[in-house]
């Protein structure tokens, strides 16, 4: 297994355009997280999935953001009508969780988004 894979690694887009990022988690992992990270800060939680179910979405996340995990495997994060403030590193992580509580998460290399 090659770990968590994110594509693309870098994306430059014009303000107002839509962008979509993909995350392929570690194959047997049932939980998948999306985070956003700006320079010098810790990752900020966006949303997470347990299998194909989206269980929580940050209240800080505007309606322009949507995420899917249709078959409980890979996930996509779409940002519509991008704004300059969306420029950040978008991180995906996966973990194997049984029962209640969390488990250690493994991260991909991230997608660096620049909105110009």
Partner 1 sequence: TQLLEQSPQFLSIQEGENLTVYCNSSSVFSSLQWYRQEPGEGPVLLVTVVTGGEVKKLKRLTFQFGDARKDSSLHITAAQPGDTGLYLCAGVIQGAQKLVFGQGTRLTINP
Selection from 61, 46, 53 nearest residue 93 by Cα: 46
**Burial of 22 per CB tally in 10 Å (0-12, 13-18, 19+):** middle
What string marks each residue from 81 to 110 as x (binds partner 1 by CB under 8 A) or -? --------x-x-x-x-x--xxxxxxxxxxx
Are the CB atoms for 32 and 90 separated by under 8 Å? no
What is 78-90 written as a DSSP string?
EE-S--GGG-EEE
Q: Which of 33, 36, 75, 115 binds partner 1 (CB under 8 A)?
A: 33
Looking at the Cβ atoms of 80 and 103, the one nearer to partner 1 is 103
What string marks each residue from 38 to 67 as x (binds partner 1 by CB under 8 A) or -? --xxxxxx--x-x----xx-----------
**Integer angstrom CA distances of residue 51 from 27, 30, 104, 107:** 11, 5, 16, 17
Could you say whether residue 1 binds partner 1 (CB under 8 A)?
no
Query: What is the nearest approach in angstroms of partner 1 to the Cβ of residue 72?
Result: 16
Chain contacts with partner 1 (rule: CB under 8 A): 4, 6, 33, 35, 40-45, 48, 50, 55-56, 89, 91, 93, 95, 97, 100-110, 112
């Amino acid at each position: 297994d090659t770990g968590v894979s994110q594509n693309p690694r870098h994306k430059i887009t014009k303000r107002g355009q839509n962008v979509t990022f993909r995350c392929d988690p570690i194959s047997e992992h049932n939980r998948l997280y999306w985070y956003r990270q700006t320079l010098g800060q810790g990752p900020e939680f966006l949303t997470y999935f347990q299998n194909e179910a989206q269980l929580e979405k940050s209240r800080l996340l505007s309606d322009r953001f949507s995420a899917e995990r249709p078959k409980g495997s890979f996930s996509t994060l779409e940002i519509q009508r991008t704004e300059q403030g969306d420029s950040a590193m978008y991180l995906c992580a996966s973990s194997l969780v049984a029962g209640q509580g969390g488990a250690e998460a493994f991260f991909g290399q991230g997608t660096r988004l620049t909105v110009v």
